[in-house]
Structure 1
């Protein structure tokens, strides 16, 4: 089993973050979960990737958490966005060869801890594509439950994503 360090992305990680995001968008299994398309993202100038990395350092209303292997490879990521009394987890991706290693659990634990450190946050939410049963099972094991709210995929309105949430434990 690989050892990972889970941490907030740093501004100087922008090239590795770009590579990981493009890999996610090119992955036919994972791409269904993203609104952004590979063709548009690959054309972005470096300034977009530099800004994404800088904005994800966790100093404001968002953090991008990455799982870094001992060799420096970014193996997985997710972004946490603060939205009033809740956070939303977006952009979740684990490289296929690092799925099932415990990395996703480590990143999710860090994301929930970061969320609870925001005093106004009472719940953490995410959306899971209706066909992504593996991800939904993973989220359920972490305590997330469907809320009953759904969102349609703007690229294919026949597909829906289910909102899931985790409530803050009683204080």
Structure 2
């Protein structure tokens, strides 16, 4: 069941991603990769993503819908069109590293944050993050101690959203592939 919210005059539903929604996963990801902030916000290019076979997108949707090591959340408008998404990766010490550094404690890692321009600025990002963090902190095994993310030091728009959602800089940074630094931000378990 999804969480409904009315922002402005538009009605949105925030919910977990479903396994059969690979076409929507692909379409929203490609839209995000065309965004002006994409070079500093995402680790892949539009061209690389576009060239991926359907099987890649099907597997990605299946993993994010399962909610075991990964859980995807989406925001839909009143017509069922996806207007935003965020994905939670579950990271444990000694586990696989998808991005950045090895987890020192069980934690969530938010990735794939994107909100279409027409849906920005009205609180939708906060609602997506609330759903993702509620799921992450409700896990019993592993019990996550924090949720982190990385933001490029020049992506002020994204960092502003993350701060509104309670994330603070941890002091840990990584060199970004596009120059500059990726800054770790985190929220500790409430």
3-state SS of paired residue (1:143): coil
Once the 2 structures are TM-superposed, how far is the Cα of residue 112 of structure 1 from its aligned partner? 0.7
Give the distance between the partners of 2:134 and 2:113, measured in 1 at CA: 16
Judge conservation of contact 2:126–2:164 (CA < 8 Å) in 1. Answer: no
TM-score, normalisation: structure 1:
0.93
Matches within 5 A, 1:143-162: 143-154=166-177, 156=178, 158-162=179-183
Which of residues 48, 55, 74 is equivalent to 1:40?
Answer: 48
Q: 1:56 maps to what in 2? A: 64
Q: Please tell me the root mean square deviation across aligned C-alpha atoms, in Å.
A: 1.1
Judge conservation of contact 2:19–2:62 (CA < 8 Å) in 1. Answer: yes
Alignment gaps of 5+ in structure 1: none
Aligned length: 167
Give the distance between the partners of 2:136 and 2:117, measured in 1 at CA: 26
Judge conservation of contact 2:108–2:147 (CA < 8 Å) in 1. Answer: yes
Give the distance between the partners of 2:58 and 2:76, measured in 1 at CA: 18
Q: 2:145 maps to what in 1? A: 122
Once the 2 structures are TM-superposed, how far is the Cα of residue 59 of structure 1 from its aligned partner? 3.0
Judge conservation of contact 1:30–1:93 (CA < 8 Å) in 2. Answer: no
Say if 2:121 is the partner of 1:100. Answer: yes
Once the 2 structures are TM-superposed, how far is the Cα of residue 73 of structure 1 from its aligned partner? 0.4
Q: Which has the larger displacement, 45-54 or 135-144?
A: 135-144
Q: 1:19 maps to what in 2? A: 27
Alignment gaps of 5+ in structure 2: 1-7, 93-105
